[in-house]
Chain A
Amino acid sequence: MSDIAAGNEHHHHHPFLQHHFEDLGQQHEASTLGMWMFLSTEILFFGGILCAYWIYRVMYPEAWALAAHQQNALYGGINTIVLIISSLTMALAVRAAQLGSRTWQLIMLFTTLIFGSIFLVVKGIEYSMHWHEGLFPGSHFTWHEHPALAQKVQLFMCFYWGMTGLHALHMVIGAGLLLWIIGRAWRNDFGPEYYAPVEIMGLYWHFVDIVWIFLFPFLYLIHGVHHG
């Protein structure tokens, strides 16, 4: 039987290797797998509200088309492009970490943060417009264009605020995480051997992007308004 202590010390210790893992490979595999598991819960989280959305969309196609028509597709479209750009820069940040370039990591992470913030600002402008138009569900909801469909338009707006709100909340959390990752990148924590946190950050950010890829056509671009 070998010395008990030997088992813990017979290969070099990376500063970020946690004690209960054998090596960085195992640690990296575990953390990305963990993130994917988390994302699958996110898929079902957003999937639940999407399912409800589709049930009503099939039930009330006219109201849905009419309500989507009220959304500003230009803002939605700009935001889609903004998010795609931020996704690209996020992916490039992971690449920079893999290649061990601190400068490019910082540039790319920072750009991602900027574009994420632009998205939130645009979203905020939209929210403020909808608020003043009386398109927030509840007692202040106002809608005159097609009174018979008013209730269902309000139902749509519940989904609009609910879905984009949850998405924006994820963006805010993502921006917070980005700040933390930028801090660590600044300290030069990441390199070819250890970049799992950047990779995980990337997975999260891309997921949030994917959610928007679906929300954009679902909430802004429903064809089929019949103005009676």
Chain B
Amino acid sequence: MADTHHEQLEHAPHSHVTGLGVYFAVFFALAIGTIVTWYASTIDLGMWNTPIALIIATIKAVLVILFFMHVIHSTRLTWVVVVASFLWLGVLFVLTFADYLTRGWAMK
């Protein structure tokens, strides 16, 4: 009976061992990102200060998720879980802001 099951799942965890180089490269990218974030906050970039801080933070998070958390080698289901979480978070942000950003609009 269990033989049929083996067709669906492999016997041992499919362990993809990431190389040391990748880990260190990611680490340096994160460190540089931190320094750039700090530096960017000290200079006046007009309206771009906030977006740049957000973009760098997002890139750093994506690096950690993909490499340190091995999502890049994970099943499609893991991808779905990760993407869905951020999608739902997006729903919370977008619809809440939909209220706050339109409160000032005048009724014509």
Contacts and interface: CB of A to CB of B under 8 A. Distances in A.
A59 B2 CA distance: 60
Contacts, number: 159
B9 A29 contact: yes
Nearest to B47: A224
Contact of B89 (A43, A196, A202): A43
A224 B49 contact: yes
A202 B18 CA distance: 14
A44 B77 CA distance: 19
Interface in B1-44: 1-2, 5-6, 9-15, 17-18, 20, 23-24, 26-27, 30-31, 34, 37-38, 40-44
Given A98-B17, A217-B53, A221-B38, A44 B78 contact: no
A44 B11 contact: no
Nearest to B82: A36
Nearest to A209: B64
Interface size class of B (residues with CB under 8 A): 35 or more
Nearest to A199: B70
A82 to B, nearest CB: 11
Interface string A79-97: 0110011011011101100
A24 B9 CA distance: 10
Nearest to A80: B34
A217 B54 CA distance: 8
Interface in B66-108: 67-70, 74-75, 77-78, 81-82, 84-86, 88-89, 92-93, 96-97, 100-101
A175 interface: no
Given A58-B100, A209-B64, A91 B88 contact: no
Interface in B54-72: 54, 56-57, 60-61, 64-65, 67-70
A40 B85 contact: yes
Interface string A45-78: 0011001001100110000000000000100010
Given A22-B5, A95-B18, A216-B34, A39 B97 contact: no
B1 A222 contact: no
28 contacts: A7-B1, A10-B2, A25-B10, A25-B12, A25-B13, A29-B9, A36-B78, A37-B81, A40-B84, A44-B85, A44-B92, A58-B97, A73-B38, A77-B38, A84-B34, A85-B27, A88-B27, A90-B68, A95-B18, A95-B20, A98-B17, A192-B15, A196-B13, A207-B69, A210-B61, A214-B61, A221-B41, A223-B41
- 4 closest A-B pairs by beta carbon, nearest first, are A40-B85, A221-B41, A28-B13, A223-B49
